[in-house]
Amino acid sequence: MTSRSLNFVILTFILSWTLTLGFKIFGGKFSSSLGLIFAIIYMLCPLFAVFILEKFVYCQKIKYSCGINFSFNIWFIIAWVLPLIISFASLPVAKLFPGVEIVSSFDWFLERFRNNFSQQHMQQLKQQMQKIEFVPIMFLVLQALFTGITINAVFAFGEEIGWRGFLYSELKQKFDFFKTSLITGFIWGLWHAPLILQGRNYPNFPKIGVIWMIIFCILYSPIFNFIRKKSNSVIATSILHGTLNATYGFSIFFLKGGNELTVGMLGLSGFVILLIVDTIIFLSNP
């Protein structure tokens, strides 16, 4: 790795993990509303690291070094819809696991998180789910796509300017496509560790969840880097990331049975679909 890439990784981890430590020392609860604000700030740490390095250390223009390019092309559209396709594609795979079936009610979605939220919070979630249960699925899909390309993409940019901007530009100078993806995916996944250990994404399996998140990020990394390469823009990967976050729920909304490690985009069913997409990318010889 180049010295620039190492400096970025070290600074990003220092900022992120120090923020986590401070939040915990001062009594912050990761499941609270304040915890959500913390998670948003955490997502922006790669952006802060890039800004510090490029503005005060290397004195280079971030726009060019990190691939900030708004020139539209077809890969922006692909980045927008691909996470939705992958999310829904994981449903029939999840059904192959023992005790897992596809249902039409959101009740089992709530049941997954019964032990992770207070009774009051669960009641609020139940009321929200009852409101959207009668909303046509197409409306929910359109809402998720809109969220993914707008507010979610803005916050995802805070990560993407680091992983698929600064780090990608550095690593591709020394490694081929898949080595770059492997290294980026591992670092990206490990960076999530403090959040995972506090119950985010894998609330019932926080320790194993750290490993699962690393695997997930490694498997999704070639897809991100492929979009980055084809679109020549970190804006496209921000859309991909934002839409991934917005459409993840569709991979578990309609499932009864299983757990975070087996079903959903972050579980084994999602890993299978990501492996298939990665194989297609490999055969295309990027």
What are 181-234's pLDDT values in tens digits? Answer: 999 999 999 999 999 998 888 988 999 999 999 999 999 999 999 999 999 999
The H or E element spanning position 254 is: none
Instruction: Write the DSSP symbol of residue 164.
Output: I
Give SS3 for 219.
Answer: helix
Distance CA 222, CA 254 (A): 28
**Diameter of the chain measured on Cα atoms:** 56
Summary mean pLDDT of the chain: 90
Distance CA 256, CA 246 (A): 21
Q: What is the pLDDT of residue 30?
A: 74
Task: Answer yes or no: is pLDDT of 117 > 60.
Answer: no
What are 135-163's pLDDT values in tens digits? Answer: 678 888 999 999 999 999 999 999 999 99
Q: What angle do CA 169, 174, 179 make, to 5 degrees?
A: 85
| Burial of residue 110, with CB atoms counted within 10 A of its CB: 0-12 exposed, 13-18 middle, 19 or more buried | middle
* Pair 166, 8: CB distance under 8 Å: yes
* Pair 206, 197: CB distance under 8 Å: yes
Give SS3 for 101.
Answer: strand
Q: Residue for token digits 């498997």?
A: 219
pTM for the full model? 0.91
Which pLDDT band, with edges at 50, 70 and 90, does 64 fall under?
confident
Rg (CA), the chain: 19
Query: Which residues 6+ apart lie within 8 Å of 68 measured at CB?
Result: 62, 161, 165, 233, 234, 235
Encoding tokens for residue 7? 């400096």
Distance CA 124, CA 135 (A): 18
| Burial of residue 117, with CB atoms counted within 10 A of its CB: 0-12 exposed, 13-18 middle, 19 or more buried | middle
